[in-house]
Each structure stands twice: as C-alpha cells, then as structure tokens.
C-alpha cells in the first residue's frame, strides 16, 4: 500500500506513536454505548484502535488519497468511510439522528471551527474527545481570571465539562508540527437551557472578548450604544476574562432587557 504524504494545505501531521494513538482512542471509553465518528483519520493510526471497540465507528475524511488508503487498509470500514468535509456535513444523517462521540487527531488549522460545529450540534454530541494544539486545549479548559480564558472557553464551558487529559510532544508526528499538542475530553453538562437568549449570549461573549483589554463598559458599546443607562452597573467595571459563564448569562439578560426598553422608547 502506498503511504499517504501529509498535505500542508490540509494541515496534516500524521501521528507515528502507537501508544499515544491507543491513549487517544481510549478517551471515548467514557461513553461506551455510543457510536463514534472520527474526523480526519488520515492513514488510520487512531482508527485501528477505535475499530477494536465493540461499537459502530465511522470516519470522515476529505483527502481522497487517505480515503483510498483507508479503503484498502480497513476493508471492514468500507460502508463507514464518509468522503466529505466535516464542516459541511449534516450531522443528523451520520447515525440517523442518534447521538455519537466525536473524536480525532484534528487538523489544527480548523480545530476551533470543528468545536463551533460541535456546539451547533450539541444535542447530537454528548462527548467530544481528541487531539488539538496545546494552546487551543489550554484556552478551552481555562477558567475565569486566566489570560487564556476567552470566547472558546465560555461558549464551550456553557454546555460541556472540559478535561485537559495529557500533553503530546511534537516529535511523535510526521512532519513534526511547530507546537506541542494536547488531548482533551468535553462531556455535555446538565445545562439544557442557558437561561438567556443564546444568540445574544454568543454576541455578548464575542463582542467583549474581541476588545478584552477594555472594561465591559467600553467593549459592549457596539451592542448597547453609548447612551445606555445600565452601563453604570458595577458589572461593567470588569473585563470579560473576569466573568464566569453564569455572569455572562446574567449580563446577557441585562443587555436584552435594555435593548427591549430602548426599542420600545424609539417606537
């Protein structure tokens, strides 16, 4: 079988260390009853350990060369290889609308987009595990008050418990990436309703963190305008990284109430 050459434009770095691959595959064992979707299997270093588990495994791969390799190397997966771009897939069709575990050695250049897609499909994905850039993993796992706490931390932690599992050296890849990697697991928490307008919540989180050095009083102006009366409230003295997820929910409710009021005054 011809080996697949890693393609730079796809952000491919193939894992060579089988012990690490086994450890990543085992992260899905926390949800043993669910089928698994692996993103970007490449030459199947992770896949070979996933298919040994007593459950349905499907893989999604955009690189036609890798798809050809997987078909040859894993004949048993034949009907379970999806040749597609994960970011464009309708995930309801993957397992007939049933929930599944998402895993993979994710392409680093699109890992954040993968997790935004996970959030859009959170009712289908009770658990997501896998390997990403260490810096991104630290950001997702960071708590309030930390320099790395940001948009991804808040939006993911609103719906998922995050575990930073272990760090992976750059030397176990071909080609070695310029950064260290880390394996994380995100498991749906008990929240089914944030208790605020979800769309506005995302907007508030993104708007304030996009100017994270400013206090909320200054960073929230694009949403509220300069004349808003609630800007005198004490919470607006804080910077976004000082707020917990719950405080962002409260802030969103304050903002929504104010927007409704301002709206009614204009009419």
Distance between CA atoms of residues 117 and 125, nearest Å: 10
Hey, which residues does 162 pair with through a beta bridge? 186
State the DSSP code for 196. Answer: S
Distance between CA atoms of residues 249 and 230, nearest Å: 16
What per-residue confidence (pLDDT) applies to 8? 66
**Long-range CB contact pairs, 35-38, < 8 A, 24+:** 35/95, 35/98, 35/100, 35/101, 36/100, 36/101, 36/102, 36/103, 37/94, 37/95, 37/100, 37/101, 37/102, 37/103, 38/103, 38/104
Local confidence band at 10 (pLDDT 50, 70, 90 cut-offs): low
Q: pLDDT (tens digit, 9 = 90+) per residue, 201-256?
A: 999 999 999 999 999 999 999 999 877 889 889 999 999 999 999 999 999 999 99
On the question of pLDDT at 133 being above 80, the answer is yes
What per-residue confidence (pLDDT) applies to 9? 60
Task: Decide: helix, strand or coil at residue 175.
Answer: coil
Domains within the chain, CATH numbers bracketed: 8-188 (3.40.50.150), 198-266 (1.10.8)
Question: Which of 195, 207, 192 is CA-nearest to residue 160?
Answer: 192
With residues binned 3-state (H G I as helix, E B as strand, rest as coil), the percentages for the chain, rounded to 5, are 45, 15, 35
By the 8 A CB rule, do 248 and 206 touch? no
What per-residue confidence (pLDDT) applies to 6? 60
Distance between CA atoms of residues 70 and 58, nearest Å: 12
Question: Which of 213, 212, 231, 234 is CA-nearest to residue 221?
Answer: 231
On the question of pLDDT at 40 being above 90, the answer is yes
């Amino acid at each position: 079988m011809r080996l697949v050459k890693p393609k730079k434009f796809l952000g491919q770095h193939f894992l060579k260390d089988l012990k690490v691959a086994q450890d990543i595959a085992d992260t899905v064992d926390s949800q043993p009853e669910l089928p698994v979707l692996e993103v970007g299997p490449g030459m199947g270093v992770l896949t070979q350990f996933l298919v040994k588990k007593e459950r349905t495994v499907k893989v999604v791969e955009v690189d036609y060369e890798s798809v050809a390799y997987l078909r040859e190397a894993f004949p048993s997966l034949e009907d379970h290889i999806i040749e597609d771009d994960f970011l464009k897939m309708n995930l309801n069709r993957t397992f007939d609308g049933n929930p599944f575990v998402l895993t993979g050695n994710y392409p680093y250049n699109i890992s954040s987009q993968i997790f935004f897609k996970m959030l859009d499909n959170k009712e289908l994905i009770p658990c997501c595990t896998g390997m990403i850039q260490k810096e991104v993993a630290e950001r997702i796992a960071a708590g309030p008050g930390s320099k790395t706490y940001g948009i991804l931390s808040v939006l993911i932690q609103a719906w998922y418990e995050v575990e930073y599992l272990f760090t992976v050296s750059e030397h176990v890849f071909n080609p070695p990436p310029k950064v260290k990697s880390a394996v994380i697991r995100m498991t749906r928490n008990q929240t089914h309703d944030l208790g605020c307008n979800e769309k506005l919540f995302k907007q508030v989180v993104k708007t304030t963190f996009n100017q994270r050095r400013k206090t909320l009083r200054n960073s929230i102006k694009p949403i509220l305008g300069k004349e808003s009366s609630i800007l005198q409230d004490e919470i607006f003295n804080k910077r976004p990284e000082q707020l917990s997820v719950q405080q962002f929910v409260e802030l969103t409710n304050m903002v929504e109430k104010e927007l409704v009021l301002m709206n009614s005054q204009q009419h």
